[in-house]
Amino acid sequence: MLNNKTILITGGTGSLGNALTKRILSKYKNIKKIIIFSRDEFKQYNMEKSFPEKRFNCIRYFLGDVRDLSRLEQALKGVDYVIHTAALKQVPAAEYNPFEYIKTNVIGAQNLITACINQRVKKVIALSTDKACSPINLYGATKLCSDKLFISSNNLSGKNGTIFSVVRYGNVFASRGSVIPYFINLNKKNKAITITDKKMTRFNISLEEGVDAVMWALKNMKGQEILVPKIPSFKIIDLAKAINHKAKLKFIGVRPGEKIHEELISNSDSQLTIDVGKYYLILPNKNLYKRYKTYNTLRKDFIYRSDLNQNFLNLSQLKKLIENFEKK
């Protein structure tokens, strides 16, 4: 799929960008070029230690910001595929700096769309978040706007132009900003593990599963779909017990902009969602169903939310995930 092709990853120095780069280099020996596009020179410097240009002569590191349309136009010359992971993501920071998030997550998305169409990029995958589903905070609202822009842009690019799709999932297990490292650190200091709500649940996806979803989408995308992987859930209180079943727990209440349960497909979305096996696809209208050879529609009351999930991780499974994380 990627042999003799050029791929650009925005926000490419992040955890997903690093994992995608590793997967692509190992699987596609004849890839033409991987362009890592990001604004942080220090992160590019660190990434280059893992993937030096001297050893991997297909890699290029481009400094730039998705807010800068002219730089995107320059970086996208000759690019076949784009994976868009660049975003501002911290919920509290979004509430304090709202327009900065709009500049990057919304205007930046539109800049990328415009540049991709102008440069005749073949396929674009944009990374979304659970917070874009029924958003209650500004970060989620900006990502919902971004999703809508990417999906609707298929109407702008023409019949044989760029096709755009979205991949949506929640926080990656033990990634930067997740509760796992925070809980482990509190436990090591013999402090109480702070939990916002006893009922809180979350979806669980590994970094490798995130990469799998992006690669599946890149291979199978038709355009206009939002891909949602089928993943297990866990209870936050079980996560704390898996770290230390004797740990003291302190319940502090839900923070502003925080949901008790993660939601990836709302009931409204589910009316236009199909099941294609490992993934759900949210589509703009039912006329697009016929593009897929095999699929199942969902029941009318379906909601894909972490507390309503049929698949939950038990304590032993959570312990194993934590052990694997601590070994790294």
Longest dimension (CA), the chain: 60
Residue 45: phi, psi to the nearest 5? -60, -45
Measured between alpha carbons, how far is 12 from 26 in angstroms, rounded to an integer?
Answer: 17
- Secondary structure of 267-320 in the HEC alphabet? HHHHCCEEECCCEEEECCCHHHHHHCCCCEECCCCCCEECCCCCCECCHHHHHH
| 41: number of Cβ within 10 Å | 11
89 catalytic per annotation? no
| Residue found by looking up tokens 């910001």 in the block | 65
CA 182, 188, 190 angle in degrees (round to 5)? 105
Measured between alpha carbons, how far is 206 from 62 in angstroms, rounded to an integer?
Answer: 27
Catalytic residue among 131, 143, 230, 235: 131
For the annotated catalytic residues, the residue numbers are 131
